[in-house]
Amino acid sequence: MDREDITVGPKGVLAAVLTPMAGDLAPDHAAFAAHCHRLLAAGCHGLSVFGTTGEANSLSTGERLAAFEALLDGGVPAETLLPGTGSCALTDTVRLSRAALEAGAAGVLVLPPFYYKGVGDDGLFRFFAEVIERVGDDRLRLYLYHIPQMTGVDLGLPLISRLIDAYPGAIAGTKDSSGDMKRIATLCREFPDLSVLAGTETLLLETLRSGGAGCISATVNVTSRLARRVYDAHTAGRDGEAEALQERLSDLRGSIEAYPVIPALKALMAALTGDKAWRNLRPPLSAPDEEQTEDLLSSVPLAELL
Amino acid sequence: MDREDITVGPKGVLAAVLTPMAGDLAPDHAAFAAHCHRLLAAGCHGLSVFGTTGEANSLSTGERLAAFEALLDGGVPAETLLPGTGSCALTDTVRLSRAALEAGAAGVLVLPPFYYKGVGDDGLFRFFAEVIERVGDDRLRLYLYHIPQMTGVDLGLPLISRLIDAYPGAIAGTKDSSGDMKRIATLCREFPDLSVLAGTETLLLETLRSGGAGCISATVNVTSRLARRVYDAHTAGRDGEAEALQERLSDLRGSIEAYPVIPALKALMAALTGDKAWRNLRPPLSAPDEEQTEDLLSSVPLAELL
């Protein structure tokens, strides 16, 4: 990968990295580092580890910290990493964010606290404000993670605006998993200094054309090569090629999205690597049964993956 | 309180105990133990600490364990405690549940993992099964915590039935915060060995009459004396008195429920104790402003509380 891409911060094609688990459902550190290297080699500009796809909230804070350490020990460049540090507990998010910052990660991707519903913007503002104040380091680059279908919490534009006004340096970007291109375009227009990353590579080209920074996506675990080609064609101004590649990329994503995405991706990784342990998932997620797996493997063009 | 009530396990009137916080938003251990003693003296049969009302998911696992230890050190009888040990992370729930069990708690109240939505019963079953298997102790008494308005996850009757069939000793009861009396009555009828506790004292008498065990409620932090009188009148067969008291109790709860409940309860505790620190809440929860607080304090009959 291009070193220049690394130094500008999370931009381009980022995988929301899967977390491989051993038979006892503990993160498999060696397989995790190997997968990160595989994704960088396949063209990812960056790696958003410990997000929804990474089953991060199914891990304890200690397990997240240990797995993060293991990635660094395994030679994954810290500056390619945008780890999720969201948690319902302020103190956990502060601890995880500080560890990421001290290791030299590109930034941190932070969910709103997601247990309570209907809490109002004041409480959400105070959560992010407390995180920033408690981390207490000007180098912090916080990315707001909007995924209301999981959190049940809305990060509305007035809240984002208020946070940018209060912490213009620290609030660096957002991952928007709403799937709503209109909202993504509005974010790009209203907040020109915010790095806006779509939560799916289906919206990669459109997000880039709207002035966004790229995408962070679950399916990029297996579509990174093609996604990177879309990005490169776009930045080189080869518009027709970018569009044709985007169409292929969206079709590829569509073939995977027909199944519960995280279990499907782990089943695909098991097929691609020949390592059955890839199928392990922490509850409440479940692996597809044999019939569903066969169906998946026959409908997704494996040769086009990774 | 009656020692006999303690030994039969969680039954009767249980408070979903508030967690007092210091100025830095760390749990105030001394105030926490004092509040537990106050609630037991006011007639609570048991104490469900670390639930929704206790802001447990806003605390790290380490903070929860330390606060639990502090209650025991503060002389709160372990057998009165039904701590919440729910978390999105299997390993955290196992760790918290084992600590509760080893300390001699009456049981543990366990949320379904609440980050992922729409995961299906297999994954939820596997979560609870793994908790029970990993704790690996016949003394475990697990109470299923159903509160879909926060978790976004439904603990349906087929799942509960499957869990009881697989772990008849361990699945001891349920706290049902659906507010749906029809569901509560069905649970009592379909699962006669399950201790069914309503999530509000408004349904206390009706739940007892349906064969349920009692209630675990947020507002019992300030209504315990009156709630206990409802329970005692019912068990003594004084039906008319029980009904009249239940009506007063429901009115009292209603006057509080008109406000966001956890902030309102903390504001009431601040007024009742004269200790302003009671108003501290971890984000994303927020304290009411001065005007709202005055409104609350003027509309709730303070003299009837606790």
In this structure, what token pair is assigned to residue A64?
A: 């997240």
pLDDT tens for A149-179 read 999 999 999 999 999 999 999 999 999 999 9
Per-residue confidence band for A91, with pLDDT thresholds at 50, 70 and 90: very high
Contact: A115, B57; criterion CB under 8 Å: yes
The C-alpha atoms of residue B293 and residue B263 are separated, in whole angstroms, by 10
Question: Percent of chain B at pLDDT above 90?
Answer: 96
Among candidate residues A175, A200, A207, A223, the one labeled active-site is: A175
Please compute the mean of the pLDDT values over residues B285-304 and round it to a whole number. 95
Per-residue confidence band for A4, with pLDDT thresholds at 50, 70 and 90: very low
Contact: B91, A63; criterion CB under 8 Å: yes
Per-residue confidence band for B306, with pLDDT thresholds at 50, 70 and 90: confident
pLDDT number for residue A160: 98
In this structure, what token pair is assigned to residue B121?
A: 């019963």
The C-alpha atoms of residue B184 and residue B204 are separated, in whole angstroms, by 11
Nearest by Cα to A25 from A293, A290, A289, A279: A279
Inform me whether the pLDDT recorded for A2 exceeds 50.
no
**Residues A151, A114: contact at Cβ < 8 Å?**
yes
Inform me whether the pLDDT recorded for A85 exceeds 60.
yes
Inform me whether the pLDDT recorded for B2 exceeds 50.
no
Inform me whether the pLDDT recorded for A88 exceeds 70.
yes
Residue of A282, A289, A292 to mutate when probing chain B, most B C-beta within 10 A: A282
Task: Name the residue in chain A with its Cα closest to that of B122.
Answer: A286
Q: Sign of the CA dihedral A113, A116, A118, A122?
A: negative
The C-alpha atoms of residue A53 and residue A19 are separated, in whole angstroms, by 8
Contact: A91, B122; criterion CB under 8 Å: no
Q: In what order do the strands lie in the sheet with A46-48?
A: A46-48, A12-16, A214-217, A195-198, A171-176, A142-146, A108-110
pLDDT number for residue B10: 83
Determine how β-strand B195-198 pairs with β-strand B214-217: parallel
**Active-site residue, A52 included:** yes
Q: Is the peptide bond before B284 cis (omega within 30 degrees of 0)?
A: yes
**Residues of B with Cβ-Cβ distance to A114 under 8 angstroms:** 114-115
Contact: A89, B59; criterion CB under 8 Å: yes
The three-state DSSP-derived secondary structure of A67-127 is HHHHHHHCCCCHHHECCECCCCCHHHHHHHHHHHHHHCCCCEEECCCCCCCCCCHHHHHHH
pLDDT tens for B253-270 read 999 999 999 999 999 999
- How does DSSP classify residue B142? E
Among candidate residues A11, A19, A93, A145, the one labeled active-site is: A145
- Kindly report the nearest CA distance between residue B145 and chain A, in angstroms: 14
**Residues of A with Cβ-Cβ distance to B152 under 8 angstroms:** 117, 152
pLDDT tens for A11-54 read 999 999 999 999 999 999 999 999 999 999 999 999 999 999 99
Determine how β-strand B12-16 pairs with β-strand A195-198: unpaired
Q: Which residue type, as a one-letter code, is found at position A64?
A: R
ipTM for the complex shown: 0.96
- Chain B positions contacting chain A at CB under 8 Å are 25, 52, 57-61, 63, 88-92, 95, 112-117, 119-120, 122-124, 126-127, 130, 149-153, 282-286
pLDDT number for residue B9: 65
Q: What is the pTM assigned to this prediction?
A: 0.96
The C-alpha atoms of residue B306 and residue B296 are separated, in whole angstroms, by 16
Contact: A52, B115; criterion CB under 8 Å: yes
Inform me whether the pLDDT recorded for B143 exceeds 60.
yes
In this structure, what token pair is assigned to residue A244?
A: 């044709």
**Hey, is A186 helix, strand or coil?**
helix
Query: What is the residue-averaged pLDDT of chain B?
Result: 96
Per-residue confidence band for A10, with pLDDT thresholds at 50, 70 and 90: confident
Inform me whether the pLDDT recorded for B8 exceeds 80.
no
Please compute the mean of the pLDDT values over residues B154-162 and round it to a whole number. 98
User: Which bin fits B185, alpha (ψ -120 to 50), beta or left (φ > 0)?
Assistant: alpha
As a residue count, chain B comes to: 306
pLDDT tens for A183-208 read 999 999 999 999 999 999 999 999 99
pLDDT number for residue B1: 39
